[in-house]
Structure 1
Amino acid sequence: MKQSLLLLCFTVSVLTAKTQSVSDSIANLVKYYHDNGLFSGAVLVANGNTIVYKGAVGMANHEWQIPNTTQTRFRLGSVTKQFTAMLILQLVQEGKLNLNGKITDYLTNYRKETGSQVSIHQLLTHSSGIPNYTENESFFPNSVKPYSVIDFVRIYCSGDLEFKPGTQFSYSNSGYFILGAILEKMTGKTYEQLLKQRILEPLGMKQTGYDMHEYIIPGRASGYETKLSGYQHASYLNMGLPYAAGSMYSSVEDLMIWNLALYGNRLMADSLKKKMFDGYLELDKNIKAGYGWFNEQIQTPDPKKVINMIWHNGGINGFMTELARFPEERIFITVLDNASNNTALLFRDIIATVYGLPLEPKKPTLSYAIRKKIESSSIAEATDYFATIPEAEKKQYTLAGAERLINRWGYERMNEQQDLPGALKLFELNTKLFPNSSNVYDSYGEALANAGKYDQAVANYQKSVQLDSSRYRRASVRIAGFSNRPDTIRVMVDGHEMVLYKTGSKGPVIVLEAGGNSDHTSWSRIVPELAKRAIVITYDRPGYRQSITCSQPRTADRVAAELYEALKKAGIKGPYIIGGWSWGGAFARTFAGKYPAETKGLLLVDPATKESYDRMAKEYPDIYTGIFTTRYAGNQAAQDEFDAMLPTMMQASISDQQYKGKIEVLAAGSFKEWSEAEIPLKKIWIDELRSWSGKNKNSRFELVESGHFIQNEKPETVIAALNRLMEVR
């Protein structure tokens, strides 16, 4: 150990003696990554109080051509967690909190059966077992909505424990959101106020704060995503939702102030502060979790020399962050990016430069060359060329960042451009360039499944698991879904192609409409079981996945007519049992009303109705506007349907007069997805559904103890309702 410390000290003296040389090398790295489309942002490297390098590249705002500077404010994402940890430890130091105290000791309304098991320490170290809210399928569709802290904890941070607290590491934003709620409860102040009064103002961090969309923040960078076609604004996110887990912004210069403060006692005594940086549960080889930090030992070519690093990174719509401190040498490195780039590549190269570790010569990046080839020719030509590129020519490029970018381009083509052939070519190229990466086979498998090439999809999922056994659960679920492989049917309707999926070979025909901003996969939990005794048809409306976008307006009348024509052209004869979930309920009702003679039954799963919308708008206009005027920035097809809400709801109501057959209505009875202020609207939703159902003698109403996604949470209930409709003579 003594020898290792001497070697580390020698490194510092070399850095100090050759500061200009190191600074020039870092500047060249920053320029290289920027020139190759892999970085846009700011960098600062310091040795104690001495700045070794600081600089910025790229644009803070592309519309106004405003360049990034070292004072530009970037969103930090999860780097926020170290500030939350500091605030928690300050209250521990003051005797207001106990690290072994449980959630329910401080949040008395939290679930007793789970909250009584989870300690503050476990929340800090990601060992609580509480599910990560960003993995909840309903979070991102609702990520533009405002929530109170208490409502958000109840809805998204109170799930069943995934494992016994303290037994394993599992990254959880939910844990840090709960810590923010505890801070507010124990002080009577907001998290933003605590941050400002206890850390930012005492340290003079004037370029740092709590980011909200509506705030005027001087020097704030816009967040972008790098697409094949160029830069695009990142999707909107209500910044009140990352909260204590990720809502801060800062500059590289202010983060240096933060780093230096961590060496002193201005914020906390050393004995307690040390707990932030100690490693507890291991999350990877040589990496352990601390309180808002990770503790890593970087191996070097010299087996006697280990570099001890305390670090954390962050990622939030349009921004990536890397921040590290090396206490033994007092070196500090931070990299802030506003174009969703892989900042870890530049970050690790800077570490190597500072410590004199081996660094590969910088060559033109393969990803940049592929992009240029696509621009000058096509995806097919570019991928064919680079998939068979001679080894000698391939060696002219570096693969740095290529895997991540190609994968992103593949999803862009598949999900945003509805170009599945192009996506398949990109994903396939990634498997050839990176044959030892588990992720590339997983992505390729997903695209192949979407194309109906199930045997190839299974082979790629299996290859993914061979390379990374942790992917077994995800892959097995996907593969199990292929046991009842749907036939993919493509038909031309009104001049555009629509894609239908047929599962099952005999029995009555069930046709299922997806909800707003969702596709055929929203029914995937129930299709295999239904296909044992029925022919199940799911499909994607125009603009979703592989179904080609068509002109407006996207009313219920038009959607129903398109579906009917598609079924006829596909040779799928009625009578049909038509089902609709959420927004799709209006389309299903309209279909039944337009074609009553060919409709055997109607299933409505927590459907939207004109009556409920009208009453909500009248009784709670402000809350209604906040919930039901969402703009679907990432999905033009969903936006087109939403823009036709008034005629759609009217057409559905008129159609009710035409259809006189059996109806099954399933209403979601749980309030868990609704904030306290929104619960009255949910009650209206249920009341009006019950009333609507009661007006029809052939209708059966059932209140299901479930959230809005009944077909996922209680699939057996939906299947039972469809079975009843199949039994109708």
Structure 2
Amino acid sequence: MPLEDIEKIAEDTGFSGVVQIDRAGEVEFAKAYGLANRAYRVPNTVDTRFGIASGGKGFTALTVLSLVHEGALGLDTTARSLLGDDLPLIADDVTVEHLLTHTSGIGDYLDEEGDWEANDYVMGAVHELTTTESFLPRLDGIPTKFKAGERFGYCNGGYVVLALLAERASGQSYHDLVRERVLRPADMTRTDFLRSDELPGDAAVGYLDGMDRSNVFHLPVVANGDGGIHTTAGDMSKFWRTLFTRDDVDEFVRPRLDVPEESLRYGLGFWLHQTSDTVILAGYDAGASFKSTHDPHTGTTITVLSNTAPGAWPIARALMS
């Protein structure tokens, strides 16, 4: 795709965000568009930090698998063995692997298969969601959708449960686990769990679709296992380069499930192209859209981040089809 076409799509759609393309470790294209803060007319820059919604699930998967390698967890560890009496509607046979592959069948506190729009207020008292344990009342009382292992059913709540299991198995907070086991090894110094109600000046405010209203009442005030961490295009390039130097990378990117309704496949926390070896992280929520792909054969990373829900998709479709 000619790079000038990116400019045209950005102009035609009013894109607000960052696009970066790296090939074999060299930045071929990096440009910011639109405003990080509309009230104060602060422009986005290539170093602006954006919330990436479900893109953070890959970080959770890496954290959980690191505990599996240490023996603190197993892929066959049941959720019940660590939950005790908490979340009694989660079936006794649901395992870590079921949760990682979205085949657990547990009910979802944010069910994207239902009648849900990014602008909806669905989270309740989001200011209370500062820790993983604080999610327990939101996760509780939701009936099972299908038997564990029966099929793929995308589940946000399952990744919060994974964060909870990681905490209970390790004795550390989920946020510290991700910092120590994912961010630090990849030198992702611009990535962290930022409070949405006190964003630093280098982070983009997320805006509701068609409004100048922020997403501060729509998302957990601190991101958790199902996504929402803030990052930059440059840090995502570091992330992919580090991931593909790992001896165990095939564990994450080996296709485990076909997901025909998405025209994709799924590994452990990562989407996979339907026919190639390209690996994908993506996220969509109120005031956030994100897609980052990596082709391990060419070393090409393409990342699109936006501080609106629909923003990333026109450019991502053109670049990543």
Same structural fold, with TM-score higher than 0.5 when normalized by the shorter chain: yes
1:204-241 per-position Cα deviation (integer Å, ceiling 9, x unaligned): 211100121244534000112342xx644335235347
SS of corresponding position for 1:203: coil
1:35-82 per-position Cα deviation (integer Å, ceiling 9, x unaligned): 113421001111121112111111111122211111000001000000
Tell whether 2:124 aligns with 1:142: yes
SS of corresponding position for 1:60: strand
CA RMSD between the two structures: 2.4
1:441-480 per-position Cα deviation (integer Å, ceiling 9, x unaligned): xxxxxxxxxxxxxxxxxxxxxxxxxxxxxxxxxxxxxxxx
- 1:132–1:157 contact (8 Å) kept in structure 2: no
Question: How far apart in 2 are the matches of 1:322 and 1:174?
Answer: 21
**Gap change, CA 1:82 and 1:157, over 3 Å in 2:** farther
Match of 1:95 among 71, 83, 87: 71
Equivalent residues, number: 313
> Relative contact order (C-alpha < 8 Å, sep 6+): which is higher?
2
How far 1:111 moved relative to its partner?
A: 4.4
Partner of 2:257: 281
- 1:212–1:240 contact (8 Å) kept in structure 2: yes
Tell whether 2:173 aligns with 1:190: yes
- 1:75–1:249 contact (8 Å) kept in structure 2: yes
Unaligned runs of 5+ in 2: none
- 2:109–2:138 contact (8 Å) kept in structure 1: no
Match of 1:323 among 277, 292, 298: 292
- 2:127–2:220 contact (8 Å) kept in structure 1: no
**Gap change, CA 1:239 and 1:339, over 3 Å in 2:** same
Matches within 5 A, 1:44-83: 44-83=20-59
Question: How far apart in 1 are the matches of 2:306 and 2:316?
Answer: 11
Matches within 5 A, 1:272-421: 273-284=249-260, 286-298=263-275, 307-351=276-320
Partner of 2:218: 237
| Identity in percent | 24
Question: How far apart in 1 are the matches of 2:148 and 2:222?
Answer: 24
**Gap change, CA 1:342 and 1:40, over 3 Å in 2:** closer
- 2:127–2:221 contact (8 Å) kept in structure 1: no
- 1:314–1:321 contact (8 Å) kept in structure 2: yes
1:422-459 per-position Cα deviation (integer Å, ceiling 9, x unaligned): xxxxxxxxxxxxxxxxxxxxxxxxxxxxxxxxxxxxxx
Matches within 5 A, 1:560-639: none
- 1:157–1:175 contact (8 Å) kept in structure 2: no
How far 1:281 moved relative to its partner?
A: 2.3
Q: List structure 1 runs of 4+ shifted beyond 6 angstroms.
A: 136-139
SS of corresponding position for 1:72: coil
Question: How far apart in 1 are the matches of 2:42 and 2:146?
Answer: 48
**Gap change, CA 1:213 and 1:51, over 3 Å in 2:** same
Higher CA-based Rg: 1
Unaligned runs of 5+ in 1: 1-21, 299-306, 353-729
Partner of 1:605: none
Task: Report the AA paired with residue 208 of structure 2.
Answer: E
Match of 1:255 among 236, 246, 254: 236
How far 1:150 moved relative to its partner?
A: 3.0
How far 1:264 moved relative to its partner?
A: 1.2
Question: How far apart in 1 are the matches of 2:291 and 2:11?
Answer: 20
1:278-330 per-position Cα deviation (integer Å, ceiling 9, x unaligned): 222222165222111111225xxxxxxxx432112101221100111111222
Question: How far apart in 2 are the matches of 1:113 and 1:131?
Answer: 8
Please identify which structure carries the higher helix content. Answer: 1
SS of corresponding position for 1:192: helix
Query: TM-score, normalised on structure 1?
Result: 0.41
Partner of 2:18: 42
Question: How far apart in 2 are the matches of 1:235 and 1:241?
Answer: 10
How far 1:161 moved relative to its partner?
A: 1.4
Query: TM-score, normalised on structure 2?
Result: 0.89
